[in-house]
Chains A and B, each alone.
Chain A
């Protein structure tokens, strides 16, 4: 059967990577954002965008809450010991329990519990020492049991805060700090995947994902526009990746976001909300939310009413469209999961009951001690330690491995961090992005770049030559900066005789009036050209001045 005939369902759409660039370069993102294919009303679109984040009392403003499903990074599934892995032959990662064969029972994965506790701690949540599992019923072919095991009544973590920052201001270099409250984090099972074969009117089911552990994070409606939501999700993604509790790759569905959107006038009760699903990247998240806010404002301004419905985001048209949903409220028939006693976690070793098996316990204190440096803390540290600009700290954090590269570079060079940062965020990152490479794939190691920077710092090469050598090092990996400089004879020329003759030559080319210092810069340019950029500018200036004034 042809794969083209298949259409992946909304939970499993694949998109190319690299759409996170917008926080790296907000201007670029804004460009993409406003470049909506429809020429219809770009003006009102960007107008509404600027209005959304500013709240004036009479204006309708957007209110955004998010539900994020994060796949737990574990070897095995939440309740069965079959592998939890992306991309494998269909149904090869399925146990009898995952296929809901009669007589099978759930056995909870300790790793998943620890991941949820760790994530909860990183988001300043209260960890419920006793949490409960529930069944949520719905009938769909990729959920073979007919119910999902989740935590509805008493989730593992509640009442947290996610701090995130936006780059704002005219030049997008002002850091605006924001907070969004985390209502709860619950452990639950993922569903399988459906492939719809419309031509043959059938659905193909792959249960590889069925039963993989998820953390559902419910955020309070504390955001007001797409940009805020996207920034919050980006920060969450960085936190999850720093913790290692979720790989956070949106294109592989490891991080899935649904947005609850409504509009109201500030001070008034919240409006009727819609749920926007089918969002597969941060860029689309921002666009979908801003589109939906604008749509609801228009509906209300035209005297209509907003309906409580589920809408899907169509990335091609940039619109949200109503999903064909069951009429009336969905009844999930929640009930306590009878096969799982309550989940107990312990505060510290002192609170462990006597005689309990240590490998059977999850101790919050131990997980707290193992928390790594979180992105927000790391950014502040970089700014304080190295005196770099806050926006540079965002750029460094946004690229996996770039902070480590930057710090390794600083260790190996005496150059000031503020001078080094440009090499990393402009030259290196620019080259990496152009070639769609990660930091770990860089042909220029931190040590090699440090060697180049040292040569420049010591005055052996000029800054323009340094850039040229960097290009050559990129093109021929393995070659060191001194090698390239020697091969191409690029060392800074400080030999007075050599420079004198170059200056003389340029004087001949360019006839000048005595004492006319305005042409000095032009002459310096000519000398630079004649010496292939290797002339020491200070010496050239001195020689020329001497010759001119003579």
Chain B
């Protein structure tokens, strides 16, 4: 499983492809504090200018192959139970239905998986927003290069009227809690 070793490819001009961060201590087990790793990756990027889209030289602290090491249950916080009200709220925010037993199980498993992050010691580590945060942000000239492709875009839509996309009316009220419970019961298998 290679959840934590990622590849980033960008087609955006000016931002070079660069995998700067080693994976988390939990997974690599290389014993180096996270701050040291960060320092070395910042140094490498500021001292060695690299051509666009070139591959960075291999950092020996980054394993060549993804590794996986499960964290024992007793090191994790107690499992999160997702109450029905929170499911309601999540559904509202995401406009995604998962009000089945299966959906709830899946959500709780996902939270359990993420619980492993609690094991990582992040004291005195400045959080990063992105692996590209030390790169220069490319600035584009204000010249029209795109647009005028309504036909192409409208073809992608299931439903159009004249040159408009058609969407369902906004703010559809979600089912009340009783209705939700009924649906949940129904879905049990």
> Which B residues touch A359, using CB under 8 A?
139, 141
The answer, yes or no, to whether A76 is at the interface (CB within 8 Å) is: yes
CB-based nearest B residue for A213: B142
CB-based nearest B residue for A332: B93
A89, B12: Cβ atoms closer than 8 Å: no
Q: Which of B10, B137, B164 contacts A91 (CB 8 A)?
A: B164
How many whole Å from B164's CB to the nearest CB in chain A? 4
> Which A residues touch B65, using CB under 8 A?
none
> Which A residues touch B14, using CB under 8 A?
360
A81, B145: Cβ atoms closer than 8 Å: yes
B153, A196: Cβ atoms closer than 8 Å: no
> Which A residues touch B154, using CB under 8 A?
91
The answer, yes or no, to whether A343 is at the interface (CB within 8 Å) is: yes
Contact with A along B149-180 (1 / 0, CB 8 A): 11001101000011111111111000000000
The answer, yes or no, to whether B130 is at the interface (CB within 8 Å) is: yes
- Binding site secondary structure of chain B: loop
A342, B169: Cβ atoms closer than 8 Å: no
Contact with A along B65-90 (1 / 0, CB 8 A): 00000000000000000000000010
Q: Say yes or no: A81-B140 contact (C-beta < 8 A), given A94-B149, A105-B12, A338-B129.
A: yes
Measured in the bound complex, the distance between the Cα atoms of B148 and A326 in whole Å is 36
B54-112 contacts to A, CB under 8 A, are: 89, 92-95
> Which A residues touch B150, using CB under 8 A?
89-92, 94
| Most central of A90, A110, A194, A343 by chain B CB within 10 Å | A90
Q: Say yes or no: A205-B163 contact (C-beta < 8 A), given A83-B147, A92-B147, A331-B93.
A: no
> Which A residues touch B145, using CB under 8 A?
76, 81-82
> Which A residues touch B135, using CB under 8 A?
341
Measured in the bound complex, the distance between the Cα atoms of B10 and A205 in whole Å is 29
Measured in the bound complex, the distance between the Cα atoms of B130 and A343 in whole Å is 13
The answer, yes or no, to whether A108 is at the interface (CB within 8 Å) is: yes
Measured in the bound complex, the distance between the Cα atoms of B160 and A195 in whole Å is 13
The answer, yes or no, to whether B144 is at the interface (CB within 8 Å) is: yes
Measured in the bound complex, the distance between the Cα atoms of B154 and A90 in whole Å is 11
The answer, yes or no, to whether B3 is at the interface (CB within 8 Å) is: no
B140, A91: Cβ atoms closer than 8 Å: no
How many whole Å from A209's CB to the nearest CB in chain B? 13
Measured in the bound complex, the distance between the Cα atoms of B152 and A101 in whole Å is 12
Of A136-144, A238-246, A413-421, A538-546, the segment with at least 4 beta carbons within 8 Å of chain B is: A136-144
Contact with A along B124-147 (1 / 0, CB 8 A): 000001101111111111111111
A82, B12: Cβ atoms closer than 8 Å: no
> Which B residues touch A17, using CB under 8 A?
none
The answer, yes or no, to whether A80 is at the interface (CB within 8 Å) is: yes
A341, B133: Cβ atoms closer than 8 Å: yes
B12, A107: Cβ atoms closer than 8 Å: yes
Measured in the bound complex, the distance between the Cα atoms of B145 and A339 in whole Å is 21
A110, B134: Cβ atoms closer than 8 Å: no
The count of residues in chain B whose C-beta lies closer than 8 Å to any C-beta of chain A is 46
A159-208 contacts to B, CB under 8 A, are: 194-196, 198, 201-207
CB-based nearest B residue for A356: B136
B142, A109: Cβ atoms closer than 8 Å: yes
How many whole Å from A347's CB to the nearest CB in chain B? 17
B164, A205: Cβ atoms closer than 8 Å: yes
The answer, yes or no, to whether A74 is at the interface (CB within 8 Å) is: yes
A140, B170: Cβ atoms closer than 8 Å: yes
B15, A341: Cβ atoms closer than 8 Å: yes
A120-147 contacts to B, CB under 8 A, are: 132, 137, 139-141
The answer, yes or no, to whether A443 is at the interface (CB within 8 Å) is: no
The count of residues in chain A whose C-beta lies closer than 8 Å to any C-beta of chain B is 64
Measured in the bound complex, the distance between the Cα atoms of B94 and A96 in whole Å is 23
The answer, yes or no, to whether A288 is at the interface (CB within 8 Å) is: no
B136, A82: Cβ atoms closer than 8 Å: no
Measured in the bound complex, the distance between the Cα atoms of B129 and A342 in whole Å is 9
Q: Which of A92, A132, A333 contacts B129 (CB 8 A)?
A: A132
Measured in the bound complex, the distance between the Cα atoms of B135 and A208 in whole Å is 31
A90, B138: Cβ atoms closer than 8 Å: no
The answer, yes or no, to whether B11 is at the interface (CB within 8 Å) is: yes
B133, A204: Cβ atoms closer than 8 Å: no
Measured in the bound complex, the distance between the Cα atoms of B161 and A90 in whole Å is 11
The answer, yes or no, to whether B31 is at the interface (CB within 8 Å) is: no
Q: Say yes or no: A360-B138 contact (C-beta < 8 A), given A91-B154, A92-B147, A107-B12.
A: yes
> Which A residues touch B130, using CB under 8 A?
336, 338-339, 341
The answer, yes or no, to whether A1 is at the interface (CB within 8 Å) is: yes
> Which A residues touch B141, using CB under 8 A?
110-111, 359
A76, B13: Cβ atoms closer than 8 Å: no
CB-based nearest A residue for B148: A92
B139, A108: Cβ atoms closer than 8 Å: yes
The answer, yes or no, to whether A103 is at the interface (CB within 8 Å) is: yes
A75, B133: Cβ atoms closer than 8 Å: no
Measured in the bound complex, the distance between the Cα atoms of B17 and A105 in whole Å is 14
CB-based nearest B residue for A75: B142
A103, B11: Cβ atoms closer than 8 Å: yes
A75, B144: Cβ atoms closer than 8 Å: yes
> Which B residues touch A90, using CB under 8 A?
150, 162-164
Measured in the bound complex, the distance between the Cα atoms of B168 and A141 in whole Å is 8
How many whole Å from B160's CB to the nearest CB in chain A? 9
B93, A95: Cβ atoms closer than 8 Å: no
Pairs of residues from A and B, 8 with the lowest C-beta to C-beta distance, nearest first: A82-B147, A141-B167, A111-B142, A336-B129, A95-B146, A204-B164, A81-B145, A110-B139
A selection of 9 A-B contacts at a CB cut-off of 8 Å is A75-B144, A76-B143, A92-B163, A93-B147, A95-B149, A107-B12, A108-B140, A109-B142, A204-B164
Measured CB to CB, the residues of B under 8 A from A are 10-15, 89, 92-95, 129-130, 132-150, 153-154, 156, 161-171
Given A205-B166, A326-B171, A360-B14: 14 more A-B contacts, CB < 8 Å: A76-B145, A82-B144, A91-B153, A91-B163, A93-B147, A107-B12, A108-B137, A141-B165, A202-B161, A203-B168, A207-B165, A331-B93, A341-B130, A341-B137
